[in-house]
């Protein structure tokens, strides 16, 4: 009887999983390629959309959104294939061999005493001279991944955004942001890998040594939020006026401690809008995109802030502590899985202390994210509803809240009627029609008069709409 080698088993297993993956991808693409068929599975019918959005708007949004969904699935497939190829054909081992050779050549050319001393310190922390190859492995891995995704990312986040009028960012600015993002990713993940694997090489229970302090750090990480966003955009103080008065009155009612109300400069980058709260306690900032002032009334903006305050009130310390403490058992589970995969000898690494297992870590994170996404999205949508309730109860202005929700969808090109499977797997927010109807129900229960909704009542300001239309006309002529 012929002997089945380890490599043959890997190829057989790979072919089986490839067939399963192909079937899943074919099903996903068939649904995504035919939006009309997918929308048959949506609980948001055309009749429910009609009071808020014109049919032309719904059709235009579908034409914009659905190719992006197809691209998102395609990118996931490419990423999975990238991991499978690296691990099942031991290309991670070959990549490490090249990185080790490159590290040796670089080390031979270093003549600076300061760099030599720094290298010696890092070697002592790592345990030997292999730290440089490990860092180069991380950089190479991430660079290959970014290059694989760049064409699709560039088309959908810059070219297509310009074609539909949602981006006004110059090409040089987009590429500069992409470069900054790449640099931050390379720097942070290289440092993380150095610390993670350096610790794992010294301690078998590295997951405990790393998990507990990282859990503590996660609790205080929110203090840095106002400063992280400044890597990409500048802030300015919201000027005095009706909008600032409406926001400060909302904050007074909510009894929330804050540093200031700020605008983040987005007008020259995007037509999309957003509001968020960054920081904790005295460092907390209420942040608005500056282009919100072109679209929304003071009452609508106050409702946006009140909604974010609802999330703030919902962030109990117990939930934060429990969430941060889950990190330690998760790291333990990853350590166990990586050791078992390493012992099989099929995937180009030996155990959880081998930096070549990095693709397996990302693959496990992907699986975890995919599996937990439905539950996480259901929870997230529940908290969004609770934040909506908080805003409505705090301000008692349901008409402004409804107008805010519908106009946000118009400005940000939201998916107005996602299929149920997509709502559970991908959507962290409830459909906009449900949120508008919730405001109407609140008004009925509290005896507040509201005019019936019509699409014309939610039209964007003429000047703002004119900018969008001009941008789309220019794109159509190209």
Tell me the per-residue pLDDT of 399-430, one tens digit each, with 9 for 90 and over.
Answer: 999 999 999 999 998 999 988 878 888 889 99
> Would residue 214 count as lying in a domain?
no
CB count in 10 Å sphere of residue 357: 27
pLDDT value of residue 2: 42
Q: How confident is the model at residue 101 (pLDDT cuts 50, 70, 90)?
A: very high
Taking each helix axis from N to C end, the angle separating 131-154 and 358-395, rounded to the nearest 10 degrees, works out to: 60
| CB within 8 Å of 82: residues ≥ 6 apart | 144, 145, 148, 359
* 274 and 304 both lie in a single domain: yes
pLDDT at 355: 93
Residues 444 and 472 both lie in one domain: yes
User: Same domain, yes or no, for 145 and 128?
Assistant: yes
Instruction: Identify the pLDDT of residue 289.
Output: 93
Does residue 365 fall inside a structural domain? Answer: no
Q: What's the farthest any 2 CA atoms get from each other in the chain?
A: 85
> What is the C-alpha to C-alpha distance for residues 188 and 414, in angstroms, rounded to an integer?
32
For the segment 315-325, what is each residue's pLDDT rounded down to a tens digit?
Answer: 655 666 666 67
Predicted local confidence at residue 443, as pLDDT: 96
Please give the residue that has the higher pLDDT: either 154 or 66.
154
Pairing of strands 285-289, 260-264: parallel
Query: Is 180 inside a domain boundary?
Result: yes
Co-location of 106 and 190 in the same domain: yes
Q: Is residue 219 situated within a structural domain?
A: no
- CATH number at 286 reads 3.30.2010.10
Instruction: Indicate whether 81 and 103 sit together in one domain.
Output: no
pTM of this prediction?
0.82
Picking from 267, 300, 315, the residue at the C-terminal end of a domain is 315
Domain presence at residue 330: no
Average pLDDT over residues 464-477: 68
Instruction: Note whether 20 and 97 are same-domain residues.
Output: no
Average pLDDT, the chain: 84
Same domain for 184 and 237, yes or no, is no
Strand order in the sheet with 260-264: 235-237, 260-264, 285-289, 275-278
Helix 358-395 vs helix 398-412: crossing angle, to nearest 10: 150
Is the per-residue pLDDT at 141 higher than 60?
yes
Is residue 21 very low, low, confident or very high in pLDDT (cuts 50, 70, 90)? low
pLDDT band at 32 (very low <50, low <70, confident <90, very high): low
| Residues written for the chain | 478
Query: Which residue in 167, 367, 358 sits closest to 159, CA to CA?
Result: 167
Q: What is the pLDDT of residue 7?
A: 46
Looking at the fold, whether 56 and 21 belong to one and the same domain comes out as: yes
Detail the DSSP E strand segments found in 20-134. Answer: none
pLDDT more than 70, % of the chain:
84
Q: Do 103 and 137 lie in a common domain?
A: yes
Does 183 map to a domain? yes
- 55 belongs to a structural domain: yes
In a domain, 41, yes or no: yes
Pair 178, 247 in one domain = no
Instruction: Answer yes or no: is pLDDT of 205 > 80.
Output: yes
Where among 152, 177, 200 does a domain terminate?
Answer: 200
Residues 46 and 116 occupy one common structural domain = no
> 25 falls in which pLDDT band (50, 70, 90)?
low
* Residue where a domain terminates, one of 286, 315, 344: 315
Domain hosting residue 442, numbered range:
1-89+385-478
Phi, psi values for residue 275, rounded to 5°: -145, 145
Task: Convert the pLDDT of each residue in 382-396 to its tens digit.
Answer: 999 999 999 999 999
Total of domains in the chain: 3
CA distance 457 to 451: 9
User: Contact, 402 vs 436, CB < 8 A?
Assistant: yes
What is the rounded CA–CA span in Å between residue 411 and residue 418?
17
Q: Is the pLDDT of residue 232 over 70?
A: no
Whether residue 285 sits in one domain with residue 239: yes
pLDDT at 8 over 60: no
- Evaluate if residue 464 carries a pLDDT over 80: yes
> What Cα–Cα distance (Å) separates residue 355 from each residue in 190, 306, 407?
11, 46, 48
């Amino acid at each position: 009887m012929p002997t089945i080698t380890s490599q043959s088993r890997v190829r057989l297993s790979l072919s089986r999983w490839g067939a399963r993956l192909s079937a899943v991808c074919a099903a996903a693409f068939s649904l995504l390629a035919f939006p009309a068929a997918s929308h048959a599975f949506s609980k948001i019918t055309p009749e429910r959309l009609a009071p808020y959005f014109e049919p032309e708007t719904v059709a235009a949004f579908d034409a914009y959104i659905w190719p992006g969904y197809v691209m998102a699935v395609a990118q996931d497939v490419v990423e999975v294939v990238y991991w499978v190829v690296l691990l099942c054909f031991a290309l991670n081992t070959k990549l490490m061999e090249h990185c080790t050779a490159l590290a040796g050549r670089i080390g031979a050319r270093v003549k600076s005493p300061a760099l030599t001393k720094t290298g010696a310190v890092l070697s002592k922390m790592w345990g030997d001279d292999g730290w440089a190859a490990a860092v180069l492995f991380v950089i190479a891995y991430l660079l290959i991944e970014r290059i694989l995704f760049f064409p699709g990312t560039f088309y959908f986040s810059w070219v297509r955004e310009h074609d539909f009028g949602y981006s006004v960012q110059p090409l040089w600015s987009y590429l500069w942001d992409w470069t900054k993002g790449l640099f931050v990713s390379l720097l942070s993940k290289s440092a993380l890998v150095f610390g993670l694997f350096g610790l794992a090489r010294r301690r078998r229970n590295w997951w405990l040594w790393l998990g507990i302090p990282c859990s503590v750090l996660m609790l205080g990480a929110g203090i840095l939020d106002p400063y992280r966003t400044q890597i990409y955009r500048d802030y300015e103080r919201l000027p005095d006026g009706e909008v600032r008065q409406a926001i400060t009155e909302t904050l007074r009612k909510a009894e929330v401690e804050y540093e200031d109300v700020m605008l983040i400069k987005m007008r020259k980058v995007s037509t999309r809008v957003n509001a968020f709260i960054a920081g904790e306690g005295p460092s907390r900032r209420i942040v608005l995109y500056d282009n919100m002032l072109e679209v929304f009334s003071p009452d609508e903006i106050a409702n946006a802030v009140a909604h974010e305050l609802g999330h703030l009130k919902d962030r109990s310390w117990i939930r934060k502590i429990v969430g941060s403490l889950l990190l330690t058992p998760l790291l333990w589970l990853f350590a166990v899985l990586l050791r078992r995969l390493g012992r099989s000898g099929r995937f180009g690494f030996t155990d959880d202390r081998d930096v070549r297992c990095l693709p397996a870590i990302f693959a496990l994170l992907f699986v975890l994210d995919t599996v937990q996404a439905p539950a996480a999205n259901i929870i997230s949508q529940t908290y969004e509803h609770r934040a909506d309730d908080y805003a409505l109860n705090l301000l008692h202005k349901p008409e402004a809240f409804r107008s805010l929700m519908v106009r946000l969808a118009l400005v940000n090109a939201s998916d107005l009627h996602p299929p149920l499977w997509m709502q559970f797997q991908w959507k962290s927010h409830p459909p906009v029609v449900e949120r508008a109807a919730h405001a109407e129900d609140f008004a009925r229960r509290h005896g507040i008069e509201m005019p019936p909704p019509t699409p014309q009542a939610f039209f964007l300001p003429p000047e703002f709409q004119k900018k969008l239309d001009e941008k789309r006309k220019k794109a159509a002529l190209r």
